[in-house]
Amino acid sequence: MSNIVAYPLSFSLVRNYMVFTFKRYYSEYIVTGRENIPAEGPVIFAPNHINALMDALAVHSIAPYKLPVIFLARADIFKNRTAAKYLKFVKIMPAFRMQDGMENLGKNNKIFEQCVDILNQNKALGIMPEGNQGEQRKLRPLVKGIFRIAFTAQQKDNLHPNVKIIPVGIDYGDLEKYGKHIIINIGKPIEVSEYMKSYAENTVTATNEIRERLRSDLNKLSLDLATKEYYECFETVVEVANSTYVKKLSLPDNTISRFIARQKIAKRLVTLENTGSEKIEKLDFLCKEYSRLSKKLKLRSRIIEQKPDAVITILLKGLILLCILPVFIYGLLLNFLPFFIPVFVRKYIMKTEYEGFFSSLQFGLGIITFPIFYLLQTLLVCYLPGTSWWMTLIFFCTQYPFGKWAIKWNGTTKKFIAKLKYRKLANNKSNDLLQVLNVRQQIIQLIS
């Protein structure tokens, strides 16, 4: 037990490095509600779970420096001895599920006892309340394990300070690609002590009450496309109507505003589905048509929703991209191998098929490949004739920034080409483009 709650220098260094690189994996690292995190335990962080180990790192990135989070994870990832030692080092404990075998479920009692002891020592736990991972942006049923631990810890010696459950909503710009946004919304603490009277009277009732509270909070903090049978429709509508809702809500056009607009659209769609409105069936049909046409045109919603750029704007953007091309080439050459080796390993060696694990695997490999290649490339430059120490230092420090510039240039160029194509289609009065614009307008009108 002492090993799991200890805070050695080795763990501190690894945690700091992981959090530092994690924040730089995303183009925008946005956190709201930091004031809701207590300075010390006993605390249980309860995030939604759609992106494997990245969800745990998101929690680590917001936790106070002296409050390391000890996580529970599915037991099957502990089968390899080397992996098990590393997982224990980074403060992850196994939780056994039905699929791990009925004979192993009894081991959870010991794990839960350890979790209670961790909280009794005013430390922090990280527990995924959904119990499993799903790559769809919707909350799944919450399992009772987190509440069993919380109630037991609070009940033991009438624990003071009180156990708090911190709901955490995480939203990713993309589950696979590097350089997208991440939004971490931290909710107000749920005081377990407030449910202890009900727990003493009826454990089932108290568990259901606190579970509903946590679910409600997570719904407010994340994008919950809570549909029973129209998920693809919901996913399409929140993108198609996003900019319209941002304007409707009088919000500035930025990442957090677009997230808020998606939440509002999702709630509107849930209402339509739950009331049995015929609109939802019509929306489903329109969304399928919109997806078919946009894929045919190879244009994303963010391009379709904008007006075609003026000729002078296109010329100016093209000239700027051309001028920055040498920076892209330089950054690409310095970062090609460390960036694409993790992708190659994931695709062709490990052959990982589950999208919800892509970024975790690529990030995990990347934090090894990038420093190795940066050091090797720096040593190579260092031994070039006429290279001074300060030139070597500048080279070392500029490898990563130029790599980010290269990725940004690549993304901007793709958008530029898409806008050129969009303008050409608009000028030629493409029938497919006119249809997709018409369908888009019908979708927006149906949810207004």
- pLDDT the model gives residue 101: 58
- pLDDT the model gives residue 1: 46
Contact 170, 222 (CB under 8 A): yes
The CA distance from 335 to 150, in Å, is 46
Query: pLDDT digits over 321-373, tens only?
Result: 999 999 999 999 999 999 999 999 988 898 887 777 888 889 999 999 999 99
Paired sense of beta strands 92-95 and 69-74, if any: parallel
Which residues lie closer than 8 Å to 248 by C-beta, 6 or more apart?
261, 448
Half-sphere exposure of 439 (CA within 13 A, CB side): 24
> What backbone torsions phi and psi does residue 305 show, to the nearest 5 degrees?
-75, -10
Query: pLDDT digits over 143-157, tens only?
Result: 998 999 999 999 875
Question: Does pLDDT of 393 surpass 90?
Answer: yes
User: For the residues 16-40, what does the mean pLDDT come to?
Assistant: 94
State the alpha helices, DSSP H only, in 383-430: 389-427
Report the predicted TM-score, pTM, of the whole model to 2 decimal places: 0.92
48 has which bridge partners? none
The CA distance from 404 to 400, in Å, is 6
Contact 61, 21 (CB under 8 A): no
Question: Does pLDDT of 30 surpass 90?
Answer: yes
Question: Does pLDDT of 50 surpass 60?
Answer: yes
The CA distance from 138 to 215, in Å, is 11
Contact 374, 396 (CB under 8 A): yes
How far is residue 89 CA from its own chain's centroid? Answer: 24
Three-class SS of residue 301? helix
Question: Does pLDDT of 168 surpass 50?
Answer: yes
User: For the residues 176-187, what does the mean pLDDT come to?
Assistant: 93
User: For the residues 132-144, what does the mean pLDDT come to?
Assistant: 90
Which region, left, alpha or beta, applies to residue 307 given φ > 0 means left and ψ of -120 to 50 means alpha?
A: beta
What's the whole-number average pLDDT of the chain? 90
Q: What are the structure tokens assigned to 302, written together? A: 């963010």
Name which of 67-76, 303-312, 379-388 the model is least confident about: 67-76
Q: Classify residue 280 as exposed, middle or buried by CB count within 10 Å of its CB (0-12, 13-18, 19+).
A: buried
- pLDDT the model gives residue 213: 97
The CA distance from 324 to 192, in Å, is 55
At 307, is the pLDDT very low, low, confident or very high (cuts 50, 70, 90)? confident
Closest CA to 220 of 174, 264, 173: 264
Question: Does pLDDT of 6 surpass 80?
Answer: no
Query: pLDDT digits over 62-103, tens only?
Result: 999 888 899 988 777 777 777 778 778 888 888 776 666 566
User: For the residues 292-310, what does the mean pLDDT come to?
Assistant: 91
